[in-house]
Chains A and B, each alone.
Chain A
């Protein structure tokens, strides 16, 4: 078996299992750590897909910055007992059934549309789509306006977070 397939299955199983563990742990810190594991496995999958820039960004931005923010907020807020959050078991079963139905629908659609039939091996083999050079060229020429807008979005989010979380002085 080629190494690529083995690596794909290792990363995919890590991602799927950590996603399930993330939504079932009662301690939010464990949930956050499993989500970080999931993001790391996704970074590995991005490397398998030749998307080096996105893989590095995934580790730095998601697993680094965003999850540290989550862990800080979990640390700052008083840990409450999970019993306070319990919901009716019937609602849980209903939610899982709905999710399973949606999953089956998606699987059906994926196999119905057969995306791999339109795949061109020559295009995929000659591709340099994931390199920083290629992404940077697109980002600073054709997509310069969305790039600037993303900068303003981050500025607005920073100011908004400061205003919302500021302690009120009366």
Chain B
């Protein structure tokens, strides 16, 4: 391993922060969703980096489970977006406020 693990961690932190910024500054529900996927992937990169540097395969198993959860989350979330779009004809998350009192 010639590359220090810090480089991977910095890249992962950068991608996580881009995902947070995307959630904060965008109002399109689909792009907010894609930003969440970006954050999940940055966590995956950290897990794989530590798993590889410590010589332990459990971190990569956790990446496998994170991918499963991400797939389930994407399916259910996109179904919710479709249902919302059918009711209100919008993807703007500021207008989807029927649960607000």
Contacts and interface: CB of A to CB of B under 8 A. Distances in A.
Nearest to A137: B57
Contacts of B58: 138
B5 A139 contact: no
Contacts of A53: 60
B78 A38 contact: no
A147 B98 CA distance: 36
A120 B52 CA distance: 11
Contacts of A10: none
Contact of A23 (B9, B22, B82, B90): B22
A70 B30 contact: yes
Interface size of B as a range? 35 or more
B24 interface: yes
14 contacts: A16-B18, A23-B26, A49-B48, A49-B49, A62-B37, A69-B75, A70-B30, A95-B21, A110-B10, A134-B57, A135-B57, A135-B61, A138-B61, A160-B76
Contacts of B13: 103, 106-107, 110
Interface of A: 2, 4-5, 8, 12, 15-16, 19-20, 22-23, 28, 31-32, 35, 38-39, 42, 45-46, 48-51, 53-54, 57-58, 61-62, 65-66, 69-70, 73-74, 76-78, 80, 82, 84-87, 91-92, 95-96, 98-100, 102-103, 106-107, 110-111, 115-116, 119-121, 123-127, 129-130, 134-135, 138-139, 143, 146, 150, 153-154, 156-158, 160-162, 164-165, 167
Contacts of A164: 76, 79-80, 82-83
Interface in B53-79: 53-58, 60-61, 63-65, 67-76, 78-79
Contacts of A48: 3
B22 A138 contact: no
Contacts of A86: 27
A153 B24 CA distance: 29
A150 to B, nearest CB: 4
A45 to B, nearest CB: 7
A135 B14 contact: no
Contact of A87 (B14, B27, B56): B27
A103 B31 CA distance: 21
A169 to B, nearest CB: 13
Contact of B33 (A2, A4, A70): A70
